[in-house]
């Protein structure tokens, strides 16, 4: 058996429900988000993890705690969501009205991060996961987790645009024949 990495997107927030970019703003879970996070406990039951890591955001750390990992989770700043800078709290539709053709993974955010910036953080997480060598549960946000998956596979950070994640979803990274063949074992299970 090879190690698996369970990527868990945080539960619903008011901003995720409305499509607003939520990077560094610390928006709490909605009641629906809390209920979904509690159900994660059953969905992850029976799995053994060498470690649980969480983004420092309240939405991710609360999801982690409600899923039953709060007492053992280590917060890691590299797991923070994409810094949207000037686009924080704005929807894609609002951004496109002022900047037609904008794409997050291609263009990044003014006063925020580019895909390469997020990719640098994701690369540090991938290196730490491979050094850990065990099963790890990671609680974070959608755009960061998408870049992390791309980097796990050896794709450029912009490759995260090819994936989508729902709130309170679980995705699993792993390996196929040996540790030189990273794969996605399952994606966006809600």
- Give the residue numbers annotated as catalytic, written as ranges: 10, 81
Residue 151 contacts by C-beta under 8 Å, 6 or more apart in sequence?
119, 122, 123, 126, 157
Query: What are the tokens at 115?
Result: 């895909």
Q: Residue 21, exposed/middle/buried by CB under 10 A (0-12, 13-18, 19+)?
A: buried
Taking each helix axis as running N to C, give the angle between helix 115-132 and helix 142-152, from 0 to 180 degrees, rounded to the nearest 10: 60
Sheet of strand 170-175, all strands in order from the earlier edge strand to the far edge: 74-75, 51-54, 136-140, 5-9, 170-175, 182-189
- φ, ψ for residue 83, nearest 5 deg: -85, 110
């Amino acid at each position: 058996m090879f190690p698996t990495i369970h990527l868990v997107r945080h539960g619903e927030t008011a901003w995720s429900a409305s499509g607003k970019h939520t990077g560094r703003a610390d928006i709490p879970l909605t009641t629906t988000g809390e209920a979904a996070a509690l159900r994660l406990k059953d969905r992850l039951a029976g799995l053994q993890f060498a470690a649980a890591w969480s983004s420092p955001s309240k939405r991710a750390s609360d999801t982690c705690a409600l899923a039953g990992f709060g007492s053992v989770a280590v917060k890691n700043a590299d797991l923070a969501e994409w810094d949207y800078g000037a686009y924080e709290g704005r929807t894609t539709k609002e951004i496109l009205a002022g900047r037609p053709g904008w794409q997050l993974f291609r263009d990044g955010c003014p006063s925020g991060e580019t895909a390469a910036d997020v990719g640098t953080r994701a690369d540090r997480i991938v290196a730490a996961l491979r050094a850990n060598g065990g099963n790890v549960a990671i609680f974070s946000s959608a755009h960061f987790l998408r870049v992390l998956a791309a980097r796990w596979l050896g794709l450029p950070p912009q490759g995260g645009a090819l994936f989508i994640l729902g709130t309170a979803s679980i995705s699993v990274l792993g390996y196929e024949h040996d540790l030189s063949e990273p794969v996605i074992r399952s994606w966006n299970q809600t």
